[in-house]
Structure 1
Amino acid sequence: MDKKTLDYVVEKTHELIDAQTCSSETRAAAQAWLDAVGTEQEAVETKKYIEELEADIMPIDTLIGFAESDAGAQVFGADKAKDVAAHAKEIKAAGAEFCDCPACVAVAAILEKKDSIL
C-alpha cells in the first residue's frame, strides 16, 4: 500500500475508532490493524480488518428494518426510531446504500480503498 493510501486509511480508522456508533468488535479490529501497521503482521491484520468492516457496515435496508422493529425502538427509543427510519428512507431514496452514521461513513471510505489496501 502506498504512503498516501496508508495515511488516508489510518486517518479514517481513527475517525472510526472515535465514532460513538462504532461497535466494540470493529473498534478492536481497527486498533489491532493500527498496531500492526509497519510490522510483519500488517498483511494478516489488514485482511482481518477488511473482513470485519465488510461484516459490520450497515446496509440501508437493514437499518430501516431495524429502526422499524421492536428492537430498534428499544435501542433508539420509540420516537427516535421513527426518526432514524424516516432518515434512512430519505437517504435511500437519494441513492445511499449504507447507513450514514459516523462509523459507517468511515467504514465506507476505507472500503473504497480496499483494492489498494489488500
Structure 2
Amino acid sequence: MNKEVLDYVVEKTHELIDAPTCSNEAREAAKAWLDALGTDAEAAETKKYIDELEADIMPIDTLISFAESEGGSQCFGADAAKNIAAHAKEIKAAGAKYCDCPACVAVAAILEKKESLL
C-alpha cells in the first residue's frame, strides 16, 4: 500500500473514530487496525477492519426503512425519525447509496480504497 493511500485511510479512520454515529464495533476495529499498522498483525487486522466496515455502512434503503419503522421512532424520537426518513429519501433521489452521517461518510471513503488496502 502506498504512503498516500495509507495516510488518507488513517485520516478517515480517525474521522470515523471521532464520529458520534460510529458504532462501538467499528470504533474498536478502527483502533485495532491503527494499532496493528507496521506489525505482523497488519494484514489480518486490515481484513477484519474492512469486514466490519462493510457490515456497518448503512445502505440508504435500510436507513429509510428503519427511520420509518417503530424502532426508528423509538431510537430517534418520532419527529427526528420523520426528518431522517425525509432527508434519506432526498439524498437517495440525488443518487446516494449510503447514509450520509459522519460515520458512514468516513466508512464510504475508506471502502473506496479497499483494493489498495488488501
TM-score, normalised on structure 1?
0.99
List alignment gaps of at least 5 residues for structure 1.
none
Q: Does 1:53 align with 2:33?
A: no
- Count residues with an aligned counterpart: 118
The aligned counterpart of 1:22 is 22
For 2:26, the aligned partner's letter is: T
The aligned counterpart of 1:64 is 64
| TM-superposition CA deviations, 1:18-38 (whole Å, max 9, x none) | 000000000000000000001
Q: Does 1:40 align with 2:40?
A: yes
| TM-superposition CA deviations, 1:32-81 (whole Å, max 9, x none) | 00000010100000000000000000000000000000000011000000
The aligned counterpart of 1:101 is 101
**Between the two proteins, what is the percent identity of the paired residues?**
79
Moved over 4 A (4+): none
- Equivalences for residues 67-86 of structure 1 within 5 A: 67-86=67-86
For 1:21, the aligned partner's letter is: T
| SS of structure 2 residue aligned to 1:88 | helix
- Cα RMSD between the aligned structures? 0.3
| SS of structure 1 residue aligned to 2:44 | helix
List alignment gaps of at least 5 residues for structure 2.
none
2:98 and 2:35 map into 1 onto residues whose CA distance is 28
